[in-house]
Amino acid sequence: MPNENHTMLWGSGGSSSAPGFASGGFSPQSSTLAQRNVSLREKTSDGKKRKLSNIEVLSRLNDRAIHLLEAYHVKLPSGELALESLLDTIPDLLGTREDEISKLKDDRQQVDAQIATLKQDAIDWHAKFESEKKTAKRDLDSLRLAMETSFADMEVQIRKQHGQDLRSQRRNHDSEMRSLRADHAREVSELKVKHDENMAHLEEECKNEVAELERKLEDAAQRHQRQIEQAGLAHDKKIAQLTADWKNRLAEAINEAKVVTAEKDREITAHRMEIERLSNRMAAYSTNRYRAIPDKEFAVLFGSLEQRIIDLSSNTTSLAGSSVDAALNPHDFIDRRGGKGRNWVRLVRNACWTLLLRGFFSRPVGFGAFGADGTDCETLNDMYALFTSGAARSLPTDQEANAARAWYFTMILQSVTPGGLAKGRTVLGADNTSLGHRFQHNIDSVAAELIRILQQLGGDGGSASQEKARDIAVDMGLLALRVGSQRAHVLLETCTFGESGGRLGEWFKHESEGALPPGPVLVDLMVQPCLRRVGDGYEDTRSQKILAQGVFLAQK
């Protein structure tokens, strides 16, 4: 049975020889060498050797035996003797390995004992280190406390020694100062004696020179006194001469003033006679001939002027602020707000209204219709002085004065528009002294100035624009005369830069440019004046009505 098993395991036949076998037999020496090929250690990835465990050693021995059996399965000759020899060597191999394993276990126990000893030594050393550390800390704290105590004692001793040194130095310095003061007093005394001796010697030597200088000084003083007396006499003479000249000139001025006063008295008498004549004519003047212009008609006339000025202003081309005349750019408006779009149109409208107001409304209720200055306005200026009794811009509001003023301007309005107001586009004058000619001359002047301003502010300057500018001047002048022909006071009001107050919300409206800034509203630019009526020319002298609200631009 064993023979059959051996035959089944190894097979039959085969004549090849393998190393370690002689005449088909197995060599024990060869088996021992094969066993030694199984190492008890292996190299790790870092090049160091690692000791194998018992299980790993047995596993490797088993793998080696299987490998040998597989090799011998091919190379062993047939026969049970060789196989039995091989099987007999296996227990020897296993016994050898068990001895080695037992030895390794002993080595492992020794190593474990050494590790336990080392761990105990480490624990003992750590305990010893902690004990020595605590001892060193106590010694260090004691040393620090001793040093601090020593430093405090040393500081007290140093301060004490320093105070003693300072007191000693102070005594030495005081002694030196007393010695120096004594030396200084002695030297000063000696120098004073020497100085007195030198002064006495110099006085003796310079006595004659001093006497000569004193004599010259006395002569100079006498000479200067004579010059002062002569200058005083000349001054008194000049004062007397100037006083006489002044008295002569004063007498001449008084005489001239008397002549002028007498002439003015004659003029006043003549004006009073003229007023009396006009009053007499007024007595015969029928109130049925008076035409009160309705508020709505004034609003329409003013609205027409307003729209035509807007049209002219919109047809101008904006320019840089530096190229605009300062008189047409109030408070550097273009530089502050920019000269594009609506701001430029606002500036042109302001310039147009400023010129028209100066040309026809320099005085209230019609008295500025002939202009602000020059010979043309003298007639209305004299009449204004009669109505105001010389008080500037203070017109009477009683019925008689209102009726006289309305009659006077109605006569002027009829004289400058012979064809009636509806046909009054062309103003006519009879001769060089007529009111119509003076009114015509003022219109021509204002129209020419308006055309010049529009051209300066970027207008085209064409004939159509010039004709529109002249029509505006004519209608503005006629509006001034119509205002004067009313018994009620119809006024054009303006606002100025920096102005604030309640009338801005009543008489003027803000041309919106976004939300108003918080706080009081201040005027930056007047864009359009306000037209308002005060009273009715009869009993009512206080009530007022806004006929056309003005427009202003607020400061940012």
Check whether 476 has a pLDDT greater than 90.
yes
DSSP string, 434-474: SHHHHHHHHHHHHHHHHHHHHHHTT----HHHHHHHHHHHH
Q: Is 318:458 a contact under the CB 8 Å cutoff?
A: yes
> Angle, nearest 10°, between helix axes 463-484 and 399-416?
150
Of 270-284, 313-327, 395-409, the range with the lowest mean pLDDT is: 270-284
Task: Label residue 358 by pLDDT band (50, 70, 90).
Answer: very high
Percent of the chain with pLDDT over 90: 24
Return the top range by mean pLDDT from 188-192, 262-266, 340-344, 459-463.
188-192
Amino acid 49: pLDDT? 60
Report the alpha-carbon distance of residue 58 to residue 38 in Å, rounded.
10
Choice between 48 and 439, residue whose per-residue pLDDT is larger: 439
Of 84-98, 111-125, 140-154, the range with the lowest mean pLDDT is: 84-98
Check whether 360 has a pLDDT greater than 60.
yes
Look at the pTM and tell me if it is higher than 0.85: no
CA terminus-to-terminus distance, the chain: 127
Amino acid 481: pLDDT? 94
Chain mean position to CA 140:
65
Find the length of the chain: 556
Q: Which residues contact 346 (CB under 8 A, 6 or more apart)?
A: 511, 525, 527, 553
302-319, pLDDT tens digit by residue? 999 999 999 998 888 877
Residue keyed to tokens 């064809």: 419
Q: Is 58:104 a contact under the CB 8 Å cutoff?
A: no
Residue keyed to tokens 């090929």: 37
Q: Which helix (H) or strand (E) holds 314?
A: helix 295-314
Give whole-number Cα distances, 149 to 136, 146, 163, 455, in Å.
Answer: 20, 5, 21, 101
Return the top range by mean pLDDT from 1-15, 222-236, 404-418.
222-236
Of 50-64, 105-119, 318-332, the range with the lowest mean pLDDT is: 50-64
Amino acid 5: pLDDT? 37
Amino acid 274: pLDDT? 66
Which is nearest to 80 in space by CA: 2, 18, 176, 153?
A: 2
Q: Which two tokens stand for residue 112?
A: 């474990």
- For 96-247, where are the E strands, in sequence order? none
Which is nearest to 343 in space by CA: 367, 364, 369, 324?
A: 324
Task: Label residue 42 by pLDDT band (50, 70, 90).
Answer: low
Task: Label residue 260 by pLDDT band (50, 70, 90).
Answer: confident
Amino acid 13: pLDDT? 38
Mean pLDDT for all residues in the chain: 79
Q: Is 371:442 a contact under the CB 8 Å cutoff?
A: yes
Report the alpha-carbon distance of residue 426 to residue 439 in Å, rounded.
11
Amino acid 423: pLDDT? 37
Check whether 340 has a pLDDT greater than 70.
yes
The residue-averaged pLDDT of 437-448 equals 91
Check whether 75 has a pLDDT greater than 50.
no
Amino acid 314: pLDDT? 87
Of 247-256, 378-387, 419-428, the range with the lowest mean pLDDT is: 419-428
Q: Is 350:344 a contact under the CB 8 Å cutoff?
A: no
Going by DSSP bridges, is the β-strand pair 523-528/550-554 parallel, antiparallel, or unpaired? antiparallel
Task: Label residue 209 by pLDDT band (50, 70, 90).
Answer: confident
Of 172-181, 342-351, 380-389, the range with the lowest mean pLDDT is: 380-389
The residue-averaged pLDDT of 96-101 equals 81
Chain mean position to CA 173:
65
14-31, pLDDT tens digit by residue? 333 334 433 344 444 444
